[in-house]
Amino acid sequence: MEKSCSLLVYFDKGTPAIANEIKEALEGNDVPAKVDAMKKAISLLLNGETLPQLFITIVRYVLPSEDHTVQKLLLLYLEIIEKTDAKGRVLPEMILICQNLRNNLQHPNEYIRGVTLRFLCRLNETEIIEPLIPSVLQNLEHRHPFIRRNAILAVMSIYKLPQGEQLLVDAPEMIEKVLSTEQDPSAKRNAFLMLFTCAQDRAVNYLLTNVDRVPEWGELLQMVVLELIRKVCRTNREEKGKYIKIIISLLNAPSTAVIYECASTLVSLSSAPTAIRAAANTYCQLLLSQSDNNVKLIVLDRLNELKASHRDIMVDMIMDVLRALSSPNLDIRRKTLDIVLELITPRNINEVVLMLKKEVVKTQSGELEKNGEYRQMLIQAIHSCAIKFPEVASTVVHLLMDFLGDANVASAIDVVVFVREIIETNPKLRVSIITRLLDTFYQIRAARVCSCALWIIGEYCLSLSEVESGIATIKQCLGELPFYSVSEEGEATDASKKPPQANSITVSSRRPAILADGTYATQSAASETAFSPPTIVQGTLASGNLRSLLLTGDFFLGAVVACTLTKLILRLEEVQPSKVEVNKATSQALLFMVSMLQLGQSSVLPHPIDNDSYDRIVLCIRLLCNTGDEIRKIWLQSCRQSFVKMLSEKQLRETEELKAKAQVSHAQPDDLIDFYHLKSRKGMSQLELEDEVQDDLKRATGEFVKDADDANKLNRILQLTGFSDPVYAEAYVTVHHYDIVLDVTVINRTKETLQNLCLELATMGDLKLVERPQNYTLAPESSKQIKANIKVSSTETGVIFGNIVYETSNVLERTVVVLNDIHIDIMDYISPAVCTDAAFRTMWAEFEWENKVAVNTVIQDEKEFLDHIIKSTNMKCLTAPSALDGECGFLAANLYAKSVFGEDALVNVSIEKQADGKLSGYIRIRSKTQGIALSLGDKITLKQKGGS
């Protein structure tokens, strides 16, 4: 078994040392060789060697050495060697080192005294320590603070030993005297820590006696004071009023670590508005004064927690929190915006939006490379503000429309989606948005933004002037017809090699152009406005953005243009009294559509038009040639109705989520209610009074009661051994975020004493044992609680297995009882989360680990199967309920969850109902790490049958 060692000693692993070589080096007079030999001896001991022959050599040749390094290594050696025999008695030769330690404790050199005192902190053998106690106590009054502070720690560790109280009966009293006279901050802190650990009442008395001087104490001592306050208030809640005053006085301390601890202690102890406001103010100061991004992120997490429990107080802090946007780090900005968006009220919305607008304007100066991404975040934030408070939409929508032509496509898409939602929810803004959109349409460069903008133009151009402007804008952006023309028979094949680059030629002139393969062709000026890369297109009247995108082969956009023109012509028929004008516009629109079809089927472009876009454009041509009332209704009304329905569903989902978050626990009918108005207020400050009121409210609303806690405990108890085993063991498993605590109850079922009983555990997966197992002695039919901590480093299914080993007096061999395995469930680490469809698709494309699970279930209904998978995997369905409505025999849905380690888990469920009623299909899981994909796959395979 590994030995513990308090310091790491570097040694070369290449050549294992031989005991004889070490012995020779130790016996010599060469100090560097001795140092090297001691390091080798320590490394061998740590690797499991015993080296009994070295002890006497070390006593003879190393103990008398005056070299500091040798003495330090000697103490390390003494720390890790076995000091007891098999029966737990101290070995007789250990008496030899007692004299040396006593000499060291009285050594004229302060360093030797100090490290020896530090060494005594790690000694557990009472027989060795007892003769040294007078020397340790003498060092409490030494002139040098380094020795005094280590002497105090030595007294504390001796007092904490099983027989410590007999060895040092009056230790707390002595340390209290030391504390009252001590001037060194570090020694003072150690003395207070000793009282806090070993005699809490004395520490509390000292604190309350010197309450006015606490702000003047050193940082280290103030930290221990806060720790003491937390401990006292947890056990004795009634007295916390007087301690909260001390914490508030420490909020002005010069140390940032102290004020951070003060704020978190205040929040954990009190719900009084004054205290919470003071904590929130402190966090906001730290957020602005600290330059370290990690500190800012931690403080933002604390503010986020405050927002959940004390939203009213945090609402007043919203502008202070927003100042964190000055940090260039995107994660900090994202977290800040997330907190702020949940604190918006009608009172502060205008201030917040004004600040966000200023930030958007700042992003236009292209100094930082991530300006585009930050702008996108700001646009999304403004979007959600405008949806919650429609009255602010008018102040921001026109500013944001300047970014429709943004080089960052994602932020341009966010703007156009925002505009689409605002134009529907704010009818008053419709005219101004349409006018602005038609004016700026030519600037848009991205096909997806164009598609959305065209849909807005087609749906919301209602008056005659708007419809005519809409048609004119689209014609302008498509440019002159035809899109291409070939003057001679055989030129089409040459032109198919590569479309010519744009040249500025007047329409009337014709001249030969040199093609990519070096041949000549005569081209009309119309075709010479084709573009290769769309990025270099300059939006002018001569060469529109729609034309350049079409000439790169984007025929989906062509289909959208055709649909928009069709809607505009149908609306023109309703608002334009002159039939001549309507027919003229119709024939022009038809000409554009036919030209797009020609372009798609020509050999000018490398890829022909796809079937979907072709069918869509042909449908628009047929519709304009022969329009019925039913068709007109579908095109002019149904599209808008579907959009309105989608928006209302989205709003409904959001309000349901908010309601679910806002659910509070209720008190039991027979719980006591305290009427604080009837309480005596003598000697209570305003803060203490507030605190009492808040506690009473919490008690009345059941916030102190953890519901169904006992039932959950019973579910988590696992039996580790059988009832007929000599040792019965069961474990209660508590899963925290980053660690698992096993609380194992071990019961001796025999009539004999079990000696050296040890719970040995091993792990599989990303689990790691924190501490070494200890040996215990168990009396007949008695029980023992053993705690084991296990660190978790990633989200995957882990297994803990092990055994209980013990000895009995009449059997020489050790007995081993093998334990049942404990399986750590991945479900404890993942929780449902939400992300946008775009983010889901991006992650789906990026993540390299995929696990494909075939559907194999007895469930015959698609939706029932999907619900079963969602429940089994603890994931959130991102697909809207309306998209899953109806009976078509097919179902596809996206699920998403996030682990406590920040890992994303993506699942796509695609199922189909067969003719025999059974479901078939696949569930695909993708994640960045292999563990989460495999573990989720195993979980789904296990649960999908439809059982438990």
Lowest pLDDT segment from 482-491, 636-645, 699-708? 699-708
Please tell me the predicted confidence (pLDDT) of residue 519.
46
The rounded distance, in Å, linking the Cα atoms of 812 and 246 is: 60
Q: What is the CATH number of the domain that holds 805?
A: 2.60.40.1480
Mind listing the pLDDT tens digit for each residue in 279-321?
Answer: 999 999 998 888 888 999 999 999 998 888 888 888 888 898 9
Using DSSP's 3-state secondary structure scheme, residue 507 falls into coil
Which domain covers residue 798, as residue numbers? 715-824
Which tokens is 647 given? 């928006």
Q: Convert the pLDDT of each residue in 359-410 to its tens digit.
A: 888 887 766 667 778 888 888 888 888 878 878 888 888 888 887 877 778 7
Residue 166 and residue 24 in one domain: yes
Question: Residues 463-469: contacts with CB within 8 Å, 24+ apart?
Answer: 463/575, 464/572, 464/575, 464/576, 466/431, 466/434, 466/435, 466/438, 467/568, 467/571, 467/572, 467/575, 467/576, 468/572, 469/435, 469/438
Split into its structural domains, the chain has a count of: 5
Q: Using alpha carbons only, how large is the chain's radius of gyration in Å?
A: 39
296 assigned to some structural domain = no
Are 732 and 620 within one domain?
no
Q: Are residues 30 and 179 in the same domain?
A: yes
**What span, in angstroms and rounded, lies between the C-alpha atoms of 147 and 145?**
5
Q: Is residue 333 one of the residues assigned to a domain?
A: no
Do 611 and 759 belong together in one domain? no
DSSP conformational letter for 892? E
Q: Which residues contact 315 (CB under 8 A, 6 or more apart)?
A: 343, 345, 347, 348
Q: Is the dihedral of CA 9, 12, 13, 18 positive or negative?
A: negative
On whether both 76 and 198 belong to a single domain, the answer is yes
- Rounded Cα–Cα distance for residues 828 and 832 (Å): 12
Does residue 734 form part of some domain?
A: yes
Q: Which residues contact 660 (CB under 8 A, 6 or more apart)?
A: none
- 119, 210, 199: which is closest to 165 by C-alpha? 199
- Report, as an integer, the average pLDDT of 673-698: 59
CATH of the domain at 153: 1.25.10.10
Q: Are residues 751 and 833 in the same domain?
A: no
Nearest to 257 by CA among 227, 228, 233, 234: 227
Residue 892 inside a domain? The answer is yes
Query: 135-173 pLDDT, tens per residue?
Result: 988 888 888 999 998 999 999 998 888 777 888 888 888
Q: Are residues 430 and 575 in the same domain?
A: no
- DSSP H helix total and E strand total for the chain: 40, 18
Task: Give a yes or no: residue 576 inside a domain.
Answer: yes
In this structure, the strands spanning 520-523 and 830-832 are unpaired
Residue 902 is part of a domain; what is its CATH number? 3.30.310.10
Domain annotation covers residue 530: no
How many Cα atoms sit within 13 Å of 568 on the Cβ side? Answer: 29
Q: Is 48 exposed, middle or buried (0-12, 13-18, 19+ CB in 10 A)?
A: exposed
Tokens linked to 298 = 């931690």
Binned at pLDDT 50, 70 and 90, residue 506 comes out as very low
- Please say if the pLDDT value at position 512 is more than 80: no
Are 446 and 478 within one domain? Answer: no
Q: Domain check: are 57 and 190 in the same one?
A: yes
* 151, 142 contact by CB (below 8 A): yes
| pTM listed for this prediction | 0.67
Per residue in 424-438, pLDDT (tens digit) is 888 888 898 899 899
| 232 and 111 belong to one structural domain | yes
Residue 517 lies in a domain: no
Which pLDDT value is given to residue 359? 87
Q: Indicate if 28 and 173 belong to the same structural domain.
A: yes
**Of 79 and 666, more confident:** 79
Q: Report the Cα 407 to chain-centroid distance in Å.
A: 30
Shared domain for 844 and 877, answered yes or no, is yes
Closest CA to 208 of 187, 234, 229: 229
Q: Is residue 689 part of a domain?
A: no
